[in-house]
Amino acid sequence: MADQCPEYANLQHELQLTLQTLSDLTKAMLDAFRGNDRGAFARLDKELETTVGRKERVVGALRQHVKDHKCSGTDAA
């Protein structure tokens, strides 16, 4: 496999971090729901929505980068 360009590597790293954040927030939101913590649930819901938006932007940027530069380490994007 050829070396990835720095921008691809940065976007890939950002996507991994964002997906991990989504996972963490979802678990915390489930815990808040189970614990009937309405305040935490509402806060986490807003944070989760913002993070989903960030994930969509990063995925879009990664796809556009692959399209423009033909560099990719995976077909998942």
* Nearby residues of 48 by Cβ (< 8 Å), 6 or more positions away: 22, 25, 26, 29
pLDDT in tens, the chain (77 residues): 456 689 999 999 999 999 999 999 999 999 999 999 999 999 999 999 999 999 999 999 999 999 998 887 654 44
Tokens of 55: 């994930």
State residue 75's pLDDT score: 46
Whether the CB-CB separation of 22 and 52 falls below 8 Å is answered with: yes
State residue 74's pLDDT score: 53
State residue 2's pLDDT score: 53
Question: Rounded to the nearest 10 degrees, how much is the dihedral formed by the CA atoms of 57, 59, 65, 66?
Answer: -160
